[in-house]
Chain A
Amino acid sequence: MSQNNSRQDIPLLSINNLTIDIPTAAGTLHAVRGISFDLKRGETLCIVGESGSGKSLTSLALMGLLGKNITPRADRMEFDEVELTTASARTMRNLRGARMSMIFQEPMTSLNPAYTIGDQLMEALTLHGSTNRKKARARAIELLEKVGITAAESRLSQYPHQLSGGLRQRVMIAMALMCEPELIIADEPTTALDVTIQAQILRLLAELQREMNMAMILITHDLGVVARVADKVAVMYAGELVETGPVDEIFAAPSHPYTRGLLRCIPLPGKTKRGSVLGTIPGIVPSLVGEVKGCTFRTRCEHASPACRGTIPLHTSPTGTHTFRCIHHPDDLETDAVQSTGANA
Chain B
Amino acid sequence: MSQSDTPVLELRNVTKTYSVKQGLFGKSKPLTAINDVSIKLARGEVLGLVGESGCGKSTLAKILLGLEAPTSGEVLVDGQTLGGQDRLALARRIQPIFQDPYSSLNPRKNIYDIIALPLRVHGIGDEASRQKSVREILDIVGLPARVMNNYPSQMSGGQRQRVAIARALIMKPEIVICDEPTSALDVSVQSQILNLLNELRQEFGLTYLFISHNLAVIEHLATRVAVMYLGRIVEEASVGGLFDAARHPYTDALLKSVLTPEPELGIPDTHLGMSYPNPIAPPEGCHFHPRCPAASDLCKSKRPTPLFDPNGRIECHLHSP
Contact = CB atoms under 8 A, between A and B. Distances in A.
B216 A222 contact: no
Interface in A238-292: 247-248, 251, 261-270, 272, 274-282, 284
A287 B191 CA distance: 22
A274 B188 contact: no
A51 B266 CA distance: 26
A227 interface: yes
A228 B220 contact: no
B254 to A, nearest CB: 6
Interface of A: 50-51, 147-150, 164-166, 170, 194-200, 202-203, 206, 221-230, 247-248, 251, 261-270, 272, 274-282, 284
A263 B215 CA distance: 17
B267 A228 contact: yes
Contact of B219 (A230, A274, A280): A274
Contacts of B220: 267, 272, 274-276, 278
Interface string B240-261: 1001000000000110111111
A224 B192 contact: no
A280 B198 CA distance: 14
Contacts of B258: 195, 224, 269
A79 to B, nearest CB: 27
Nearest to A281: B188
Contact of B263 (A196, A247, A269): A247
Nearest to B278: A150
Interface stretch (B67-75, B103-111, B269-277, B298-306): B269-277
Nearest to A190: B259
A265 B267 contact: no
Contacts of B126: none
A280 B191 contact: yes
Interface string B261-296: 111111111101111100000000000000000000
B265 A228 contact: yes
B188 A262 contact: yes
B221 interface: yes
A251 B259 contact: no
A275 B275 contact: no
Contacts of B272: 196, 200
Contacts of A206: 267
B187 interface: yes
Contacts of A264: 191
B156 interface: yes
Contacts of B253: 196
Contacts of B257: 195-196, 198-199
B261 A251 contact: yes
Given A150-B275, A261-B188, A267-B216, 19 more contacts: A50-B187, A165-B53, A166-B276, A170-B274, A194-B53, A196-B52, A196-B257, A199-B256, A200-B274, A221-B187, A222-B187, A224-B261, A227-B261, A265-B190, A267-B194, A267-B219, A270-B260, A278-B220, A280-B195
B157 interface: yes
A332 to B, nearest CB: 22
9 contacts: A50-B187, A149-B274, A227-B263, A266-B190, A266-B191, A267-B220, A269-B215, A272-B220, A276-B220
A269 B261 contact: no
B91 interface: no
Contacts of B221: 275
A274 B270 CA distance: 25
A284 B156 contact: yes
Question: What 10 A-B pairs come out closest when comparing CB atoms?
Answer: A148-B274, A224-B259, A267-B220, A281-B188, A265-B191, A278-B191, A50-B186, A199-B257, A227-B261, A194-B52
Nearest to A261: B188
Contacts of A277: 195, 198
B54 interface: yes
Nearest to A273: B220
A50 B191 CA distance: 13
Contact of B217 (A226, A267, A280): A267
A329 to B, nearest CB: 24
B187 A251 contact: no
B30 to A, nearest CB: 19
